[in-house]
Amino acid sequence: MSAGPGGMGDRITVIVVPDETSPVRRFQVPRALLRHGIWIVALVAMLFTAGLVDYVRLRVEAVEVEQLRAETRRHRENLLELTDDVSVLERELARVQEFERKVRVIADLPAAMTEASAPGAELGGEAGPQGLPTGPAGGEAGPWELAPGAQGALDLESGDLFLAVARIQRDTQRLILSSRHRGDSFDGLLEGLDGKRHRLASTPSTWPTDGWVTSGYGYRTSPFTGQRKFHAGLDIAADAGTPILAPARGKVIFAGRKGPLGKTLILDHGYGIRTTYGHTSALHVKRGQEVDRGERLADVGSTGRSTGPHLHYGVTVNQKSVNPSDYIIR
């Protein structure tokens, strides 16, 4: 590289020699362009460096965002599992509460204090669901109908994690208070059961036969007249000949035909409690006979006014009809 001749100091000659056999190439570059070019190259280098740094920063942030998204998904899944666990606990507490209620009914004990009046109930929020089991006869009662996943799952679906966490914390606190109250109530129940062994042995508490409930206790549309009529018992459908077992110790006070109920059996369990078994096909005990819990009384049939093989099971206390479901624990 050299300055051009003849006062051409404002230009710079650039000589390029590719190799020994190729011709030499000369270029003249104005000095001003060279000076400006250096600044342009420097500016381009700075812009490139800044762009590279910004690109690297964006890539790092993208990785961090993806990590945060993955972590959020994990938290959401964990919260969903937690809401499911809370719902399961609610069901189990409701089941325990219903069990205690039935035991108190059977043992003729005062009803348990409600959670609304228990100490600290103001922190508990809404009370748990109430209801009777609707599961098949002869088996474990099915769970009460509850909203699956509770409200916390709805909050998670809407994307409000903070609200979901707040609800789960509230529900957990309520379950803690409820479990404490249930423990205190059970302590009182155990004290009340002391000395009631004979009454419990004589009070019906089991399904009288295997089958499924086709008509519950209360008002219903009569299958014969189509009119609304009170049904004072449970209709338990089963195959003809299915054994009917005594739900408690008692004495047979009636064994024979009884109008629309057909072949009927009535047990007196003492303490004002009686059970009725209608539409049977065969009776295996007779009037005046003492029976124990689990002893075979009769067979399921369709005698009397019946639409098919089933057992009409009724319970009366002091000659007043009551819901037989209250006298079925298992």
pLDDT digits (tens, 9 = 90+) for 271-295: 999 999 999 999 999 999 999 999 9
CATH class entry, domain 205-327: mainly beta
| Residue 208, φ and ψ in degrees, nearest 5 | -80, -20
Distances (CA, A) of 166 to 69, 79, 159, 163, 197: 21, 11, 13, 5, 46
> Residue 117's pLDDT is what?
46
3-state secondary structure of 18: coil
For residue 131, pLDDT beyond 50 = no
Residue 190 — pLDDT band, cuts 50, 70, 90? low
- Strands (E) in the chain, as ranges, are 2-4, 8-16, 25-30, 212-215, 218-221, 228-231, 234-237, 243-245, 250-257, 263-270, 273-283, 290-291, 296-300, 310-317, 320-322
Can you tell me the mean pLDDT for 61-83? 79
- pLDDT band at 249; cut points 50, 70, 90: very high
At residue 6, the pLDDT reads: 44
Q: How far apart are CA 306 and CA 170, in angstroms?
A: 51
The answer on pLDDT for 238 being more than 90 is yes
Would the pLDDT of 301 be above 60?
A: yes
Q: Are 240 and 303 in contact (CB under 8 A)?
A: no
83, 165 in Cβ contact below 8 A? Answer: no
User: 6-20, 91-105, 241-255: lowest mean pLDDT where?
Assistant: 6-20
Tell whether the model's pLDDT for residue 234 goes beyond 70: yes
Please give the structure tokens belonging to residue 242.
């299915």
Q: What percent of the chain has pLDDT over 70?
A: 75
Amino acid type, 47: L
Q: What number is the average pLDDT over the span 26-45?
A: 74
CA quadruple 277, 282, 285, 291: dihedral sign = negative
Q: For 285, phi and psi rounded to 5 degrees?
A: -130, 165
First CA to last CA distance, the chain: 106
Cβ(172)–Cβ(90) under 8 Å?
no
| The pLDDT value given to residue 157 | 53
